[in-house]
Structure 1
């Protein structure tokens, strides 16, 4: 089971390209996009952080999906570490099994992230 700090959400999000999502499905596990592999962990965001992540790193890109990841189904270590503005972000040190993906969203836009945030409120 994932280790995480108290009162952190167990459902978090990964924004990735369609080809990366297809590879995740095919292999059954996700080890990370190129930025994740460079940094040594898989970058994830909470519902509250996802819209800013999308706007900062994925603005104008097409062919994206958002995977909702259930951290309770991730066996590798999950660490909540300070990033933008000192906010704690979930980072997976290892891989995420396909079975940890609760939902996948193929229409990725700002409205999606507003809806995801509203669901967790």
Structure 2
């Protein structure tokens, strides 16, 4: 089962020449927020309402070199959190979504 990470295109561009990607939340919260497919629409509505477009990174969790932990959120739903950088070899697809 794939997991998904939403990122603004201008943030993703900063990592174009890197082998790994690190969301700001890795520094501020200690992990990178991800979602399961059925959670994407709610996350987009909750946190990206004002964005014109986003990139949705499709991640194969078996290829991650950083630990992945499924944890409850404040809404008591279980979300996947990556405790480290995302190695780009784990990213199997990138979807541009206009909002």
TM-score if structure 2 supplies the norm length?
0.89
Is 2:90 the partner of 1:100? Answer: yes
Distance in 2 (CA, whole Å) between partners of 1:84 and 1:48 is 17
Would you say the 8 A contact 2:19–2:88 is kept in 1?
yes
Unaligned runs of 5+ in 1: 1-9, 110-121
Is 2:87 the partner of 1:87? Answer: no
Bigger shift: residues 91-100 or 58-67: 58-67
Structure with the higher fraction of residues in strand conformation: 2
Distance in 2 (CA, whole Å) between partners of 1:108 and 1:101 is 20
Would you say the 8 A contact 1:66–1:108 is kept in 2?
no
1:31 CA displacement: 1.6
Match of 2:6 among 2, 6, 15: 15
1:82 CA displacement: 0.2
Would you say the 8 A contact 2:26–2:83 is kept in 1?
no
Is 2:18 the partner of 1:27? Answer: yes
Where has structure 1 moved over 3 Å in runs of 4 or more?
A: none
**Cα RMSD, aligned residues only:** 1.5
Q: Which has the larger radius of gyration?
A: 1
Distance in 2 (CA, whole Å) between partners of 1:63 and 1:83 is 25
Structure with the higher fraction of residues in helix conformation: 1
